[in-house]
Chains A and B, each alone.
Chain A
């Protein structure tokens, strides 16, 4: 196993000189010859296997020891085939794969054996697997933040109050135009079944209990987030999820592009400018981590294993190198 271990020093409000001085991180290309095409989902198994949804190649890549060891899928609609698999989640030897092209969620084993599938009427890209076989999807069109399904697609519960535009951005009108977009969230489920909702268009994270009770929420604050928020509202046509090429570089009118939970239950949030936010599982402490250098890569997926972060851009896989010394500041929960 060849892993570069990242040492994380967490200083919870104990060193004022460090607080306010964001940590930095470096990345390197993983497998330079490997081209992925739009991955919005990656997840590690407990054994270190990395599963990557490779959307426009219609496949899920399985990496072990930094090599592709298996490929699931191939374009199609029969069980086990995939059509635009945009994201995935892993839990207890199973993968939930959202297929944007097939309007379908497919459950496959980590050996690639299809187990069940169910259709969806929306193609929001993010999925989480909870305990009791729960498949969690974000479908704000239904009026709720979370919809919980059985592996065969039976709707079990819906919960989570949608946030209004005025609550998201005080000072703005309380229109319904952006309601759905504002409530697009990435989902992460921890071992206990708590759900983290990471808003893409609001610098906001919420944690919900398995019973549907909001445990805490935290607004992320930093200079670069202010800049991203400004860019969000200045984007012509208002907020929307899209990409476009500006002088050959991706520009995304979203604030948060990726997120994952670490093995110890902390939440990592990736911002559109490649900066990270590291948030403790209890929401009490958080700290920004800035990318070194001036080049900026938009990461659409992230996963953590043994202290190393793995990322996917529109075309490549990356991993963090070196040490991140993380200065986390304590903060009160802001409702």
Chain B
């Protein structure tokens, strides 16, 4: 009888303990999985590994990452606007101060792949990094890791994804140009609505004189940013110019000015704009409010857009040229 009582007591105590365990372990079961900060903490040395270049040269992460800032892409090549960004950043801050490195799995065959210039490619020959840098499950779909490593080889920033070009710019500026105050970074060109349009110095069609835009009246400004005018050779631009030309011949035409970035090779595209040449100007200097100077330097064209400007010189609206033309076609 004593044995039975003892067994009942033991079973009861065990059940109670298991119950308590289940209650208290529940939050742990629901605790979040490992964050990437826990895998490679900020401020820790970048994990050690042996690397090989496509030509067979061998090095270690310690040697490769020492002495300069490194933007390191693991398991892929960065797509900072088709690879044009890294050379611009290196040009600005110096090749001796910053490098861009891509580390790929050892069995990657990139012989026919796209290899952006300005990037060093290395292979994780022994798979050490692949094992160390386990991709956290909640971000596994990205399967990509970007690091900023400081000149002592310590991780300054990491992200399981690609960085947007402008984020890379802000990050690098803040470290290499000591722009810790984010207000000092180059203002983005995308949010101009509500701001005062600067007094633009513009060159006319013949490039013989400098003019300014009107004051005291509403107008619209079509702006072609970028240094290569990426779409200028395309039929799309011809169609857009044709539609602008038709629009301007109507009685309800708004006051419209077409401004090309001074970085666009004007002589090469001049004939395209011939139908509206009375309205076409080129900027005589850079205006960061109108276009991203980094993209300009990188030779990356971006889409033309329209600013509607009030008589007080305030930018009321920014809209893609394509959309603006469609709206105008509908309203007329």
A residues at B contact (CB < 8 Å): 29, 32-33, 35-37, 56-59, 68, 71, 73-78, 83, 101-104, 119-122, 142, 154-156, 158, 245, 247-248, 314-316
Contact = CB atoms under 8 A, between A and B. Distances in A.
Interface in B297-332: 314, 317-320, 323-324, 326-327
A248 B324 contact: yes
Contact of B171 (A57, A75, A247, A314): A75
Contact of B35 (A29, A101, A103): A103
12 contacts: A32-B194, A35-B188, A35-B194, A35-B195, A58-B167, A68-B183, A74-B182, A76-B156, A104-B37, A155-B27, A155-B30, A248-B320
Given A37-B191, A73-B182, A74-B182, A247 B170 contact: no
A316 B193 contact: yes
B191 A75 contact: no
Contacts of A33: 195-196
Contacts of A29: 194
Interface of B: 27, 30-33, 35-38, 42-43, 136, 138-139, 156-159, 166-167, 170-171, 174, 180-183, 185, 187-188, 190-196, 314, 317-320, 323-324, 326-327
B109 to A, nearest CB: 33
Residue picked from B157, B159, B192, most chain A C-beta under 10 Å: B157
B31 A155 contact: yes
B191 A35 contact: yes
Contact of A37 (B159, B171, B188, B318): B188
A142 B156 CA distance: 32
Listed from nearest, the 3 A-B pairs whose CB atoms lie closest are A248-B319, A119-B35, A315-B191
Contacts of A68: 183
Given A120-B32, A315-B193, A58 B170 contact: yes
A317 to B, nearest CB: 10
Contacts of B188: 35, 37, 56
Residue picked from A36, A77, A83, most chain B C-beta under 10 Å: A77
A75 B31 contact: no
A121 B167 contact: no
Consensus secondary structure, chain A interface: loop
B194 A315 contact: yes
A217 to B, nearest CB: 26
A32 to B, nearest CB: 5
B170 A32 contact: no
A78 B37 contact: no
Contacts, number: 100
B159 A101 contact: yes
Contacts of A32: 194-196, 314
Contacts of A316: 191, 193-194
Contacts of A71: 181-183
Contacts of B37: 77, 102, 104, 119
A247 B195 contact: no
A75 B327 CA distance: 38
Contacts of B32: 119-121
A248 B318 CA distance: 7
Residue picked from A37, A103, A154, most chain B C-beta under 10 Å: A103
Given A77-B156, A316-B191, 19 more contacts: A32-B194, A32-B196, A32-B314, A33-B196, A35-B192, A37-B188, A59-B182, A74-B174, A74-B182, A76-B156, A77-B37, A83-B157, A103-B139, A155-B27, A156-B27, A247-B319, A247-B327, A315-B194, A316-B194
Contact of B42 (A77, A120, A158, A314): A77
B138 to A, nearest CB: 5
A77 B158 contact: yes
Contacts of B192: 35
B324 A77 contact: no
A58 B169 CA distance: 13
A75 B171 CA distance: 6
A57 B182 contact: yes
Nearest to A31: B194
A245 B30 contact: no
B248 to A, nearest CB: 20
A33 B43 CA distance: 37
B212 to A, nearest CB: 21
Contacts of A76: 156-157, 171, 174
Residue picked from A36, A71, A121, A314, most chain B C-beta under 10 Å: A121
B30 A248 contact: no
A87 to B, nearest CB: 18
A259 to B, nearest CB: 24
Contacts of B158: 77
Contacts of B180: 74
B27 to A, nearest CB: 4
A274 B183 CA distance: 29
Contacts of A158: 30
A247 B323 contact: yes
Contact of B182 (A75, A121, A154): A75
Contacts of A245: 320, 323
A247 B326 contact: yes
A237 to B, nearest CB: 18
B278 to A, nearest CB: 26
B317 A35 contact: no
A77 B324 CA distance: 40
A142 B174 CA distance: 37
A74 B181 contact: yes
B320 A75 contact: no
B27 A78 contact: no
Given A32-B314, A37-B191, A247-B319, A77 B35 contact: no
A315 B318 CA distance: 12
B91 to A, nearest CB: 21
Contacts of B326: 247
